[in-house]
Amino acid sequence: MKTLLIACLCLSVLSVEMTSAVWSNRDQEILAQVKDTKWAAFIVEYAEITMTTGGVLSELVDAIRQLIDQLNEELQDLKDLYSRRTDEHNRDVTRLEQEIQDGERDIFNGQDMIDNVLYPQRDRFQKALEQLKQNIEENRKNLAEETLSRKKAHEEFVDHVNEHNDAIAAVDESLGLLSQISNPSMVQIKRVQSNLGRIQASFQNHSLFAPIIKALLELATEQNFADQGSLAQLVKIFNELRTQFVQSLNDETNEENAAQEKFVKRVSQLEQEFSEFQRAVLIKTAEISANEQKLQQTQAYTEQRRNDVSTLQAQLAAENDNFARETDIYNGLVTEYTKEISVSEQL
């Protein structure tokens, strides 16, 4: 086809009389196809002008060859530019997808930390703190109750001591009176009976002393103390009673000392527990504060990573859209260049 066109052009140049070329139907079709492209249309127009004005055909052929070389060079530059843009696009997509994946992993890990560690841990710490506060309240309640109980027990002990001392004093007084009796007067007898009455009033509910005091009262009431044998028996009974009073006082004193020692140990134990509870409260409060701070930091970080991922996804979508548009433009340009070169090569 190129030979045919050149031949036609040459014949036209050699015909000095002709002002325009004589074209066959086939040549007309080729020219119509050639004129569909920008550069080829320019060449045809240039050829027509050259033939019309008597120009040299070799110059046209050289121009066509230069045009084809230039088009091929520009097409190669376009392909190189698109290749570099493709590499850049692929790097950006790979980087963005990796950053999105990293962000989604950070979001998952952060939310997992919040849901499965920090929230449950906060609940456990709060329950533990409430339990410690209840322990402290129970500890103080026990201390108050046991202190009050010890106080009452000690007051009862003091009352018992006074009762014992009064009874011992009454017995001693009675023994003193009995030791002075030889021919007892009615006044002395009444005095002994009065002491026994006082003792009975103090110990009438005492299971150990009540029978002895009752017997002494009956004996002292019946006796006129004229019989020295009866007097000796009465003195003996008074001495036995005194011994029991003293022994009872010693026993209660020992019990009081033991109770007081036990109370002191119990108070020490409660105070130690109280100190440990207070220390545990401070530790647990610090743990709650640290957990809350960690929770807020993790929530803020997770939210920031969500924003980061949203931004990265928007960047990735924009990059894909831009590259798609650039690819459409590139494909259009390649098609245009290829068509220009193909048609030019047919000339």
Query: Does the pLDDT of residue 322 top 70, yes or no?
Result: yes
What was the pLDDT predicted at 314? 97
Per residue in 263-321, pLDDT tens?
999 999 999 999 999 999 999 999 999 999 999 999 999 999 999 999 999 999 999 99
What was the pLDDT predicted at 236? 85
More confident residue, 260 or 198: 260
What was the pLDDT predicted at 189? 66
**Cα 105 to chain center, whole Å?**
19
Measured distance CA(267)–CA(251) in Å, rounded:
24
Point out the least confidently predicted range of 24-38, 174-188, 193-207, 249-263.
Answer: 24-38
Whether the CB-CB separation of 284 and 132 falls below 8 Å is answered with: yes
Burial 160-182, CB ≥16 within 10 A → b, else e: beebbebbbebbeebbebbeebe
Point out the least confidently predicted range of 30-39, 163-172, 319-328.
Answer: 30-39
Q: Whole-model pTM?
A: 0.62
Q: Which SS3 state, helix, strand or coil, does residue 7 take?
A: helix
The mean of the pLDDT values for the chain is 80
Per residue in 20-53, pLDDT tens?
344 455 445 545 554 555 545 555 565 565 556 5
Measured distance CA(231)–CA(331) in Å, rounded:
145
